[in-house]
A and B are shown apart, each in its own frame.
Chain A
Amino acid sequence: MGTVAPDVSVRLLGDIARGDRDAFARFYDLHAALVHTFALRVLREPAEAEEVVQDVFVQVWRQAETYSRDRGTPEAWLITMARSRGIDKLRSRRRRNQMVRPAENPDRLPEPIALESASGPAEARATLGGALTELPAAQRSVLELAYFDGLTQSEIAAKLGEPLGTVKTRMRSGLERLRGMLSGHSGAERA
């Protein structure tokens, strides 16, 4: 997925803040796929992913004027909103699942919903590609568990059976690399 020039999006957000519905539609067309792809990866459930996309863009409409360039690109703003909604849904789903069938071992986290149960083959095969293949697998997996699956550092440590310190170090090294990639070729298209 290519990046969208932030300037255009920032301008559109200004127009949206003035109530311009065409600008909103254009903004949606520019960013909906990224938000949807992200939500689908987090929730692995098309209907819930669509709810997240709807929530995020309705919030854009209502609060476009609260976006400030100093706080990041519009894409990062959108993904931050989508992540907080997506992870909320994921956690409440996990709570529901735990109530329905209490695990034999209460310390164990419920497994993420199986991909095949919900989404089509295209989504099921969704794996990180592009620049991320450059990350060592151990770093990548802790990033994914935290960012997409909403697990905290202690939950990840418990799940992997690794010391908390190791998990933290891996996450930080992974992020260090991500930042390095961005500054290496800024405005980075996927490789």
Chain B
Amino acid sequence: MNHDQSLEQADLYALGALDGRELAEFEAHLATCAICTERLRETREALVTLPRSLPPVAPPPALRARIVERVAAEPRVTPAPARRRPERRRTRVIWWAGWAGLAAAAALLLVVNAQLRATRQELQALQGRVATLQTVLAQREEALRFLSDPNVRYVSLGGLKPTPEASAWLLWNPTSRQGLLLARGLPAAPPGKAYELWALAGSQPVPAGVFGVDERGRALFRLPQLPAGQTFDAFAVTLEPAGGVPQPTGPMHLLGKVL
């Protein structure tokens, strides 16, 4: 095989397209060939054009918080730089002074080390809190942005027979078909069950997401974007199997009309 063929294989290898015997051959060749290594680098660089040409989709802020938190909990083991020690002859005096100094330094090191560890733990805890706060802040900002849209309608949902004391506000934007549900007074759903929100177009219920409540019976739930082409005139909440169902089956807990 001449070397041009290897370069061609480098391209297919960068794409992940080589297989079978060609793959084994090329990998063996690559291990010893600087030209093919460079070609592989160049091709990988060129290939980044592919994902860069896609419409960007930002990852959810919660993912950032999760990753930052994970990293905060993981101390980094930095390999210590190799230090060269000059070989030198020492006199006795310097030797003893050296030991005394070393003992003092070791004692100091212990103290500093303990303090350092405490500081690092504090720092990690703080970084975790900052990440959490950033997520909360991002959520609030999103809610604020949502609220400031003049198209948003306020739908009041009242508690029905199973939970007469429950109530909710649904902030509904019929233009963007997005919404935010703030509920209170709902009991925790029994195991295997969850609350499901429905958007009603006439008598036709459209599933609008499954949510749970916190220990105080409250929920803040962002609706998925609802399908276009329908005018929703009411919203309802029923108790359903935890994964949600396409059509309501359980008792209705909340109901409210879009006015």
Contact = CB atoms under 8 A, between A and B. Distances in A.
A61 B78 contact: no
Nearest to A129: B53
A57 B47 contact: no
B16 interface: yes
A37 B53 CA distance: 10
A73 B59 contact: no
B41 A72 contact: yes
Contacts of A178: 46-47, 49-50
B121 to A, nearest CB: 14
Contacts, number: 171
Q: What does DSSP make chain B's interface, helix, strand, loop or mixed?
A: helix
Contacts of B16: 83, 87, 146-147, 150, 152
Interface residues of A, number: 70
Given A126-B55, A171-B11, A182 B46 contact: yes
A40 B45 contact: no
A15 to B, nearest CB: 11
Interface stretch (B66-74, B135-143, B229-237): B66-74
Given A36-B59, A154-B20, A24 B50 contact: no
Interface in A165-181: 168, 171-172, 175, 178-179, 181
Given A122-B57, A153-B18, A143 B67 contact: no
B51 A17 contact: no
B55 A172 contact: no
B79 interface: yes
Q: Interface residue tally of chain B, by bracket?
A: 35 or more
A128 B17 contact: no
B214 interface: no
A118 to B, nearest CB: 13
Contacts of B20: 154
A32 B59 contact: yes
B53 A53 contact: no
Given A76-B44, A143-B15, A171-B11, 16 more contacts: A1-B54, A24-B71, A29-B64, A33-B56, A37-B54, A37-B57, A54-B67, A57-B71, A65-B78, A80-B44, A130-B49, A130-B52, A146-B16, A147-B47, A178-B46, A179-B46
Interface of A: 1, 3, 17-19, 21, 24-25, 28-29, 32-34, 36-38, 40-41, 50, 53-54, 57-58, 61-62, 65, 70-73, 75-76, 79-80, 83, 87, 120-123, 125-132, 143-144, 146-148, 150-156, 168, 171-172, 175, 178-179, 181-182, 188, 190
